[in-house]
């Protein structure tokens, strides 16, 4: 049980697309907006767990499904990077707290769902935690995995919110600029994956 908690935290700690956007939103719109984005990502991870648990992961290896996810991932991340650059140009990241929106959770869901590394990560976690356990334990271990993921989402959301309140404006804008370029880089990576898949059809 405790192992599952730490595995969830370890797998959720790297600065991938989801955590980068959590940080950007936390600095721009505040803690709750960033956390809502993170919860959307956790919902997508729950969906991937169910797919693996019920043996449906080969379905996600279908070329059409992979093309669709890659294309959506490219568009979603490009949109988020464009939003980051637009906020910098219009100077909207002055630390004002934005209103919560369902789009925060939906964006988090889509970024995590379309991330090509999410499924391999969950297959890896499934092998580490669930293989060899009794049929009653996987649910408890999965909940601990989610708790670990939630802890990291809260951590990054709180860190970004506090940074947005206390860091100098120039430093906040610099972090937002790096976040925008990082999201753009992930978008280009997803786009490259899409082109490679398309060439194999």
Q: Which two tokens stand for residue 107?
A: 């964006």
Range from 107-111, 123-127, 141-145 that averages highest in pLDDT:
107-111
pLDDT (tens digit, 9 = 90+) per residue, 56-100?
A: 777 777 788 888 888 888 999 999 899 888 877 876 545 555 566
Task: Confirm if 116 and 69 have CB atoms less than 8 A apart.
Answer: yes
Q: End-to-end CA distance of the chain: give it in Å, rounded.
A: 43
Q: Give the residue numbers spanning the domain of 71.
A: 2-200
| CA gap 5, 81 in Å, rounded | 31
* Nearest alpha-carbon partner for 179 in 15, 24, 12, 37: 24
State the pLDDT confidence band at 131, using cuts at 50, 70 and 90: low
Q: What pLDDT sits at residue 97?
A: 53
When divided into structural domains, the chain yields a total of 1
pTM of full prediction above 0.85: no
Q: What pLDDT sits at residue 108?
A: 92
Q: What pLDDT sits at residue 101?
A: 67
Q: What pLDDT sits at residue 99?
A: 60
Task: Give Cα separations from 160 to 5, 24, 61, 146 (angstroms).
Answer: 23, 7, 35, 21
């Amino acid at each position: 049980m405790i192992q599952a908690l730490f595995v969830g935290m370890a797998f959720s700690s790297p600065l991938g697309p989801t955590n980068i956007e959590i940080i950007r939103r936390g600095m721009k719109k505040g803690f709750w907006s960033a956390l809502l984005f993170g919860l959307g990502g956790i919902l997508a991870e729950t969906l991937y767990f169910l797919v693996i648990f019920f043996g449906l992961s080969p379905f996600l290896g279908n070329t059409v499904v992979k093309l669709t996810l890659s294309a959506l991932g490219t568009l979603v991340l490009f949109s988020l990077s464009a939003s980051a650059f637009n906020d910098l140009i219009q100077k909207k990241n002055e630390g004002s707290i934005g209103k919560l929106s369902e789009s925060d959770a939906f964006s988090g869901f889509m970024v995590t769902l379309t991330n090509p590394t999410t499924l391999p990560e969950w297959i890896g976690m499934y092998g580490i935690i669930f293989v060899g356990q009794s049929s009653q334990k996987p649910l408890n271990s999965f909940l601990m995995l989610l708790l670990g993921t939630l802890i990291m989402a809260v951590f990054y959301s709180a860190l970004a919110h506090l940074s947005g309140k206390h860091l100098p404006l120039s430093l906040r804008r610099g972090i937002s600029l790096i976040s925008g370029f990082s999201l753009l880089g992930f978008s280009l990576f997803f786009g490259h994956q899409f082109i490679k898949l398309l060439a194999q059809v």
